[in-house]
């Protein structure tokens, strides 16, 4: 017998249909919203993909441009990994260093310059048997130790510098030869004049002896000038050890008689250890000290004063010479150590030049200024101390 549906069941069924319709409507609305969002996201994704494609195209163009630039760049460019192996090299680098190929290790002697050295100059043999000069600069690429190396062939520039230096040396030698000829001319002419007088048959014996003495004096002056010149141009490094105290005592013994003849008061001072030594050749160093002392004597007035002093200051020996003469014009202080430059009549202009060169050979220097004690010139030769025994 069929079941009879009550009114309450109809109501419930109607409500269920209404709920179903409502849920269906919501589901349809949500689905439509989802479709709209998918469409929006799809558009954004398409735009992003288009932007990425455009960026990739730009990067490819930039990479191609950079590759062309590296190909055309006259400087060598290499990338090295942490182990020092070549990752890549442009044609210029391969031309400069043909033996270096990708994967090959950078030479150990060149690795010593890396990273960050300030453009060291590499000397490499060239095919023509000469030397090729490469300037190298490095900089780190990443934190993994990769290094970018830039190589510049500065061989033509370096050869120009060498040619310029050679021309300057030749010009300096020519100037020095002209100055030497000028210095030799006066005593040589005087000696020839006296020698010509010696040929006179009517010359009295006393005059003959006097002229002969003059010839000897002029020849000795020539010999002294030549010896000074040889001392100046000698380039070898004298590597001996010189005890300072005996050297200073010998200097004083040589200068004291000259001061007495010139009527100049000589004062000396020593403030150093007995066994103090400096590097150099004893005879050459003594000649330099004598030159400084005699320079002071030549400018100090009769009745004036000259002081000689040796002292140890901060690991250096300082030999000081001061006088009460006119001093050195500040405008000339840069030139007085030039060979053949003299501030007095009759001077050869070699004494101070020799003194300066001897100081430099011994690893020291010479300073010139105003004497605070005497008011004249003050010369200080500073030399590094070797030892105290």
Answer yes or no: is 219 within a domain: yes
- If asked whether residues 271 and 374 sit together in one domain, one would say yes
Residue where a domain terminates, one of 210, 233, 256? 233
pLDDT interval class at 159 (50, 70, 90): confident
- If asked whether residues 375 and 281 sit together in one domain, one would say yes
DSSP string of 301-323, one letter each residue: PTT-EEEEEEEEETTEEEEEEEE
pLDDT interval class at 234 (50, 70, 90): low
**For the residues 64-78, what does the mean pLDDT come to?**
74
Answer yes or no: is 1 within a domain: no
Residue where a domain terminates, one of 153, 177, 193? 153
| CATH code of the domain covering residue 97 | 3.30.450.20
The average confidence (pLDDT) of the chain is 79
**For the residues 109-137, what does the mean pLDDT come to?**
68
Q: How many domains does the chain have?
A: 4
Answer yes or no: is 310 within a domain: yes
pLDDT tens profile 162-202: 888 777 766 766 766 666 666 667 677 888 888 888 888 88
Which pLDDT score is estimated for 90? 84
Q: What percent of the chain has pLDDT over 70?
A: 80
| CATH code of the domain covering residue 192 | 1.10.287.130
Which pLDDT score is estimated for 268? 92
| CATH code of the domain covering residue 371 | 3.30.565.10
- If asked whether residues 270 and 368 sit together in one domain, one would say yes
- If asked whether residues 278 and 377 sit together in one domain, one would say yes
Answer yes or no: is 169 within a domain: yes
Which pLDDT score is estimated for 175? 66
Whether 384 has a pLDDT exceeding 80, the answer reads yes
Residue 111: both structure tokens together: 């690795």
Residue where a domain terminates, one of 201, 233, 265? 233
Cβ 233 vs Cβ 225: under 8 Å: no
pLDDT tens profile 83-107: 878 888 888 887 887 777 777 776 6
Which pLDDT score is estimated for 5? 52
- If asked whether residues 147 and 83 sit together in one domain, one would say yes
Estimate the crossing angle of helix 282-299 against helix 244-262, to 10 degrees.
Answer: 30
**For the residues 212-223, what does the mean pLDDT come to?**
79
Pick from 383, 223, 374, 248: nearest CA to 310: 248
Who has greater pLDDT, 206 or 351? 206
- If asked whether residues 267 and 376 sit together in one domain, one would say yes
- N- to C-terminal Cα separation, the chain: 140
- If asked whether residues 203 and 65 sit together in one domain, one would say no
């Amino acid at each position: 017998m069929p079941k009879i549906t009550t009114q309450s069941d109809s109501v419930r069924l109607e409500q269920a249909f209404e709920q179903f319709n409502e849920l269906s409507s919501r589901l349809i609305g949500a689905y439509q919203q989802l479709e709209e969002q998918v469409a929006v996201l799809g558009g954004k994704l398409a735009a992003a993909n288009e932007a990425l494609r455009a960026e990739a195209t730009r990067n490819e163009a930039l990479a191609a441009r950079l590759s062309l630039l590296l190909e055309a760049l006259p400087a060598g460019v290499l990338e090295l990994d942490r182990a020092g192996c070549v990752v890549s090299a442009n044609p210029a680098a391969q031309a400069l260093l043909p033996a270096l190929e990708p994967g090959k290790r950078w030479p150990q002697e060149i690795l010593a310059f890396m990273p960050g050295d300030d453009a060291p100059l590499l000397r490499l043999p060239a095919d023509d048997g000469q030397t090729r000069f490469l300037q190298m600069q490095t900089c780190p690429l990443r934190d993994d130790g990769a290094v970018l190396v830039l190589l510049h062939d500065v061989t033509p520039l370096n050869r120009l510098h060498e040619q310029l230096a050679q021309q300057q040396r030749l010009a300096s030698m020519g100037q020095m030869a002209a100055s030497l000829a000028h210095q030799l001319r006066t005593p040589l002419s005087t000696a020839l004049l006296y020698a010509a007088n010696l040929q006179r048959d009517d010359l009295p014996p006393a005059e003959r002896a006097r002229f002969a003495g003059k010839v000897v004096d002029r020849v000795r002056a020539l010999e002294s000038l030549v010896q000074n010149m040889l001392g100046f141009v000698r380039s070898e490094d004298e590597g001996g050890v010189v005890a300072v105290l005996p050297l200073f005592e010998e200097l004083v013994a040589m200068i004291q008689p000259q001061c007495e003849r010139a009527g100049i008061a000589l004062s000396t001072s020593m403030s150093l250890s007995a066994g103090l030594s400096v590097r150099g050749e004893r005879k050459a160093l003594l000649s330099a000290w004598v030159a400084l002392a005699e320079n002071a004597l030549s400018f100090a007035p009769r009745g004036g004063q000259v002081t000689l002093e040796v002292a140890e200051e901060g690991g250096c020996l300082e030999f000081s010479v001061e006088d009460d003469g006119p001093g050195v014009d500040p405008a000339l202080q840069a030139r007085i150590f030039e060979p053949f430059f003299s501030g007095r009549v009759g001077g050869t202009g070699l004494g101070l030049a020799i003194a300066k060169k001897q100081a430099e050979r011994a690893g020291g220097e010479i300073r010139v200024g105003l004497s605070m004690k005497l008011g004249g010139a003050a010369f200080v030769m500073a030399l590094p101390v070797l030892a105290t025994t």
